[in-house]
Amino acid sequence: VLGLLCKWCSYSAADLAGTRHRKYPANIYIIQVPCSSWVDPLFILKALRMGFDGVLVSGCHPGDCHYQTGNYRARRRMSLTGKFLENLGVDPRRVKMSWISATEDYKFVEVVNEMVADLKDLGPNSMFADNGPRDAVET
Ligand code: FES
């Protein structure tokens, strides 16, 4: 799982989860981003094409964005991205958005556990495997 986490909140929550020795699946690869609005839908598409089974985008709660309206824009963009990916045949459970504040380490653990469980049910991401629809996307 690729985790794109806002540095002001969700990334700190992940850090806090580590400091508090909370257990969560080790198969999340976290990248700190300046704000959830920084996440370009192409990053998500590229991650799925690279073989990540899912992408978690997480930012500050509505009203708490460090850049005031960034997370509202991210929410709209993620909604459209979800519909676009669904049209490509990607199960919507592979891409998730969540609001997690810096003190919600327990919520970060819950979200990651839930997402990993969903992805285990779905199985590996083969949507963009070499002889799959990826060729169709490129043409
Ligand atoms: Fe955290 Fe914008 S600063 S979502």
- Tell me the mean pLDDT in the region 98-124: 96
Q: Is the pLDDT of residue 126 over 90?
A: no
What separation in Å is there between the alpha carbon of 105 and the centre of ligand 1?
Answer: 16
CA atoms within 13 A on the CB side of 93: 14
Which one, of 65, 35, 49, 52, lies nearest residue 115 by Cα? Answer: 52
Where residue 129 falls among pLDDT bands split at 50, 70, 90? low
What separation in Å is there between the alpha carbon of 35 and the centre of ligand 1?
Answer: 4
Q: Is the pLDDT of residue 133 over 80?
A: no
Q: State the pTM of this model.
A: 0.90
Which one, of 17, 28, 1, lies nearest residue 109 by Cα? Answer: 17
- Tell me the mean pLDDT in the region 11-24: 96
Pocket around ligand 1 at a 6 A CB cut-off: 6, 8-9, 35-37, 59-60, 65-67, 70-71
Q: Is the pLDDT of residue 6 over 70?
A: yes
What separation in Å is there between the alpha carbon of 21 and the centre of ligand 1?
Answer: 25
Average pLDDT value over all residues in the chain: 91
What integer pLDDT is reported at residue 127 of this predicted model? 77
Q: Is the pLDDT of residue 139 over 50?
A: no
CA dihedral defined by 69, 74, 75, 81, rounded to 10 degrees?
A: 160
Residues 6 or more apart in contact with residue 80 via CB below 8 angstroms: 41
